[in-house]
Structure formats: C-alpha cells, structure tokens
A and B are shown apart, each in its own frame.
Chain A
Amino acid sequence: MPLSKKTAALALSTVTALSALAPSVFADEAYYGYNYNWWSEPVPSQNGYVVSDIFTGADIGVGSFDEVSDMFVDNETGKFYITDSKNHRIIITDENMSSGTVLDTFKYGTEFPESESIIKNTTLNTPTGTFVTHKGDKTLIYIADSLNERVLACYEDGTIFHEYTRPSSDLYEDNISFRPEKLVVDNAYNVYAVIPSITNGMVQFSEDGSFNGFYGANRVETTAEVLQNAFYKLFMNREQMRARKRAVAIELENCDIDDDGFIYTVTSSKSSDKDILKKLNPSGENIYLNMGFDNMIFGDLSTWSNGKVYASAIDDVEVDENGNVFLLDYSNKRVFQYSNELDLEFIFGGWGDQKGLFTSPTSVESYNDKVYVTDSRKNSITVFALTEFGAMVHDAVEKFNRGLYKEAKEPFEEIILRDANYWFAYIGLGNAYYTMGDNETAMKYFYMNSKGGYNRAFKEYRMDMIREYFNVFMIVIIVLIVVLFVLSRVRKILKKKKDKNAKGGVA
C-alpha cells in the first residue's frame, strides 16, 4: 500500500513537472497577433500565420547568403528564385529548400551578333530583383542587374537572349542614373523596371527592348511648397524657376503583378498616406481610387505611442493567386495581409532576432498558403504557415467577397467564438443576417461596426415596421391630431366671443 502511494505521488509529480515544462516546449510566437477595431485601435487577435521554418544558404547547400534582396516564386513550376545581392548570384531552389542551383555566369545567346565568333561570359554586379515568366516551354528569367545598369533576360541555363539598357531617349534625362532595383514583366513581355532615382514611375520597355516611356507615376502631393511654386511661377522666368526646388512625386519602391495582369506598386513613405499601394490598369491609372480606397491608410493605423513615431514604410507587395495582398512594412518589420477587397486580415512579424522577427526584411512572397519573408541582415528566409484560425478567416472572407454571405455565416460565427475582437467577422455576420432577411439581428451586428451596413439593414427594418403597423399608427396619430386641433380651435373661438361680448358690454 505505501509503495503504490509512493508511485502514485511520483507519477503525479512527474506529470506536474512535465506540464510546467510544456509551455517552454511549445513556445509561443515571438510576436503578438493584433488587428484594428472600429475606433482604429490595435486590439489583440489570434495569429493567422506562425513560423514553420527558417532557411539559410547553408540549408540549400550554396553557402551563406550575403544580403538577400529579393525572392520570386514561380507559381507554375513551384521554383524559388533568390537574389543573393552581395554574392552577385541568383539561386534557384524549390519549396523544400534542400538543394539549389546557382546562376552567376551568363553567356550571350544567338540573338547577339558577336557571339557567333566569340563566346563571351558576363557576371552580375549586385542584382536586386528577379522576375520569371514563361514563353512556350521556355522559362524566361529577368534580372535587375543594378550596378551594371541593365536588366538581363536569360533562359534557365544562363543564356542571355536580351539585355535592356539605359534608354537613349529625350524623355530619359542624362543626369538620371539607370539602376533598376525591382522589375515585373507583363503577359505581353513588356518589362517594367523600378528605378529609385526616377519619380515619373516605372520605366517600361517593350519586348524588343525599345523604351516605351514611364508607367504608373505617383501623384504630386499638394504641399505648401507646390502652392508656393505656383505663386512664384506667376512672375519668375524660366531660369529662376529652374533654380527653385521642384516639388515631385515620391518614387516607387517595389512592384508585383497578379494573375490577371494588373501591376501593383508600393511607395515607401512615412510621411505620406497617398499612393502607398496602387493597383494599375494598363493605362497606368490606379484602380483603387475608383474603388474608394483613396483615403485608406496601409500598414499600422496608430502611428505613435509613448512619444515615438511608428509610421509604416511599405517596402514590398505580394499578391497571391487568391488575390490576397501582402504588404511588407520595413520600419516596423511586419507583414500586413489584406484580402482582395483590402480588408486587413492578419498582421505578423516584428522587430528582433527571434524566430519570426526581422531586422531588415526585404521581400515577401507567398506560395501554397505559406508566406516567405527574406531578411538581408539575418540572411535567412522565414517561412510562415497559415494557422487553423487563419485558414478559417481566409475561407470566410473569400466567401464574403464572392457575395456568398449566407455560406460565410458559419465560419464567421466560429471566428467570433475563437476571437471576439475580430472586427470583420461582425460585418460578415451582419451581411449574412441581412441577406437572410433578419434585419434586426443584422442591425445588432452592424451597430458600431459598419455604418453602411447598418443603413441598409435599418432601411429594410423600417420598411417592415411601417408595413406591419401602418394602419394602427396612422389611425391613432390622425385621430389625435384632429381631436387636438378641433378642441383648440373651439376653445379659441369661444374665448374670442367671450372677450368681444365682455368688451361690447362695457362699451
């Protein structure tokens, strides 16, 4: 008996000790998930993405990275193209990141006339961006070879088929450098290069390498300086005006292209809220403006706390096959994930050295519900996996944005059960009840969550009320009004008659 008691006590203590250890074994994320509520306050929320893996150059077997500045995922083949800037190379690998091939020397293909006699090799000098597309069964790799002032276009074996160099056009001023940082290629094989020193937008080349002009410039902000210049222009001559500082738009920072061929650009500015994220149509106009996102603030909404400014500076944009938009905030080292209708869904990452935090994040990519963030100082690639909660939110919001409000009801209810702070779920439920015709419940969900939704539900609710109680209300009101009116009239007439009689009597 004492022995069994002892063993029981031992077993119990072991279990307690183990359970005490458990939290450290299943470590929490290094960052807290949060989201924004109706008052634009940050409120704690469940994580939609958690760290699943971290890869370095050694894992891939190509030696350590030196400033990973960009990564591109080819959705068709599942290949990853990592731009290893200071090692002057491109690394081609796959989802597992266990092996990879290095692309650092290139030879000129048959498209170049000299190559028929001499086989020339060329190398990269600080490449900063890659883009991959397909033509027939060929894979075309475009590399922004920044310090060599060119964009290389080559096949997967390193055979260059085209070289886009500085345009010799009057539009391209002589004193502006040509150092392509990032690039995208559209379905017609036009190349759009983002060049940091150019404020007119992206430089657009057609497939044959001719300069097509600039594409997708930001708007000039109406600051005091602009107004001042407009005033001085009234009486200053051209030479004098040239000496003055010109007000120009903020240059673009990065770009991406979605499956429908729309080009997205981001602008990295802490002071401006204008044109931070743009979705461009073929003529270079921002579609988001017509969709009512002109005043939308991307990244963190509350920009200061404890006297410090935490304004976001968006560095990279990624649009996945479902239309989800990922924005990488360089100043706070976070990734903001929006739905295709720009509803903020998840915020993850942060500043630091722990797993899942970054010191100098450079690019964000997504592939198969996983998010890859490269860090140029940690020289690693952090992989985030979608959590159960994240998948639930994606499912619900996707249904919602397709207009399947009724079908989205159940997932939204589950979301509220798991995270009552999740603001968008209330709007989703409101819409679900609204389409089901339960306006009163819809109003309850829309209250303090969505004015537009509340307005719609209230309109229907009021209509129902009027229809139901119209007769009763109207009869009561009309009878009351008539009775009161008649009574007061009668009283007045009687009073006047009395007064007149009294006066007449005295006179």
Chain B
Amino acid sequence: MRFDLDLPKWKWPFYVARHPFEGFEDVRWKKAYHSKVALLIILVFFIVNVCARLMTGFIYQTVFDKIFNVVPIFSSSILIFFIWVVGNWSLCTLFDGEGKMNEIMCVSAYALVPYIISQIIYILASNVLTRQEGTILVLINYIGLVWSGVLLISAMKAVHQYTMPKTILAMIFSVVAMVIIVLVLILLVSLFQQVVMFVYSIITELMYRFSL
C-alpha cells in the first residue's frame, strides 16, 4: 500500500487498471470513490457498446438485425450495471460486506476500464483487419474481458474486505440476486400494467354509464 498517492480524480481508474491487486486497497485507503468519474465511465461503456453495434467492420459484424435499436444495448449495459450494483450491495450488506452502494458502484465502474479500452481497439481494428487475421481480435477481446474480470474480483475483495473464496462466492450469489431482481421487476411491470388496464376499463365503463 502506498500512502503517498496523490492522484487527480480521473487518473484513479487507470491507476487501478495498472495495479490490479493493490489498487483497490489504495482506493479504499484514500477514499477515492469519485462517483462522477464512475458515471462517466458507465456512459462511455454505453457509447462504446453502441459503437460496437454500428461501427464494427462489415467482415466482423455478427448482428444480423436490419433495424438498429438502442433499447437492448441500453439494458445490456447501463441497466445491467446498476442491477449488479444493487444486487451486490443487497447481498453483501447481509454478509458483513463493508462496501456502501456508492463505493460498489465506483469500484465496479473502475473495473470496466480495460474492457472499454479493448472494445475501442476491437472496433478500430475490425475495420482494417481481414477475416484471416481474426484471431488478433479474439485475443484483444479476451484480454479485455479477463483483465476486467480480475479487476472486478479485486475490487469486490477490497471494497467489502472479504477473503478470496468469500469474494468469489459473493459474486456468484450477486448474479443470482440480479436474476431475482430482474424477475421481480418484470413481475412488477406486468402487475402495474394490469392495474392500469383495470383502472382504465373502470373509467371507460363509467364514461359509458353516465354517457360522458
């Protein structure tokens, strides 16, 4: 742990990316939870996802949709990120986790940085590489994913002050919690739909009754 760290806000995500094992302890020590930086990262994450859909070279396009739709990309980047934060927080507060919601959000966002960078490289490279050189792109993709994954584990470990096995377990159960949250959300939405339909039909009925 380095006590003499004095970085500007925007440098923290890059610092933790370069120090995957100690970086998040430093973040904790320095209380470097900058939520504005984190939100910016999430926004960039979303934009990069949109770009990946629109700007990947023709040879490497895997999506076969004729019409571009931003909603699935939104829900698979921003929405799922916040569901992860909520799910992880709600699980870890019950199991001696020290992280607060804001802290979890910040470190999770910091951990995304290598993946975002790899995606940017992927998009650029896919426009200049042919199909035979595709292994390079696969490599870029995997490096980004693994790096971000390692960072996320390290982040969870530091922010909750867990041991390694407990961190892994907590992350797995966070995913389960995410599934439950999504299910409850869908249930809620459909229930509200029913309520709205019910009220709406009562209003129409009344309007017919009193011939309004």
Contact = CB atoms under 8 A, between A and B. Distances in A.
Q: Is the interface of A mostly helix, strand, loop or mixed?
A: helix
B59 A462 contact: no
Contact of A454 (B59, B64, B128, B132): B59
A459 B59 CA distance: 11
Nearest to B57: A458
B66 A39 contact: yes
B128 A451 contact: no
B31 to A, nearest CB: 25
A489 B64 CA distance: 47
B58 A39 contact: no
A459 B66 contact: no
Given A448-B58, A451-B59, A458 B130 contact: yes
Contacts of B11: none
Nearest to A455: B131
B66 A454 contact: no
B66 A455 contact: no
Nearest to B59: A455
Count chain B CB atoms within 10 A of each CB in A448, A454, A458 and give the residue with the most: A458
Contacts of A452: 131
B58 A451 contact: yes
Contacts of A451: 58-59, 131
Measured as residues with beta carbon below 8 angstroms from the partner, the interface class of chain B is under 10
A31 interface: no
A55 interface: no
Interface in A414-464: 447-448, 451-452, 454-455, 458-459, 462
A448 B131 CA distance: 15
A462 B133 CA distance: 13
Interface in B77-136: 128, 130-132
Nearest to B61: A451
Interface string B46-77: 00000000000011000010100000000000
B64 A455 contact: no
Interface in B127-150: 128, 130-132
B58 A462 contact: no
Contacts of A448: 58
A458 B66 CA distance: 23
A185 B110 CA distance: 72
A447 B128 contact: no
Given A458-B130, A462-B128, A462-B130, A39 B59 contact: no
B130 A459 contact: yes
A447 B66 contact: no
Contacts of B132: 459
Nearest to A450: B58
Nearest to B64: A39
A455 B133 CA distance: 11
- Looking at A39, A41, A452, A459, which has the most chain B CB atoms within 10 Å of its CB? A459
Nearest to A449: B58
Contacts of B58: 447-448, 451, 454
Interface in A199-242: none
Interface in A25-48: 39, 41
A31 B60 CA distance: 38
A462 B125 CA distance: 13
Contacts of B66: 39, 41
A454 B60 CA distance: 11
A41 B59 CA distance: 21
Contacts of A454: 58-59
Contacts of B64: 39
Interface of B: 58-59, 64, 66, 128, 130-132
Given A455-B59, A455-B131, A458-B59, 5 more contacts: A447-B58, A451-B58, A451-B59, A452-B131, A454-B58
CB-based closest 8 A-B pairs: A455-B131, A459-B130, A39-B66, A455-B59, A455-B130, A454-B58, A447-B58, A451-B59
Interface of A: 39, 41, 447-448, 451-452, 454-455, 458-459, 462
7 contacts: A39-B66, A447-B58, A452-B131, A455-B130, A455-B131, A458-B59, A462-B130
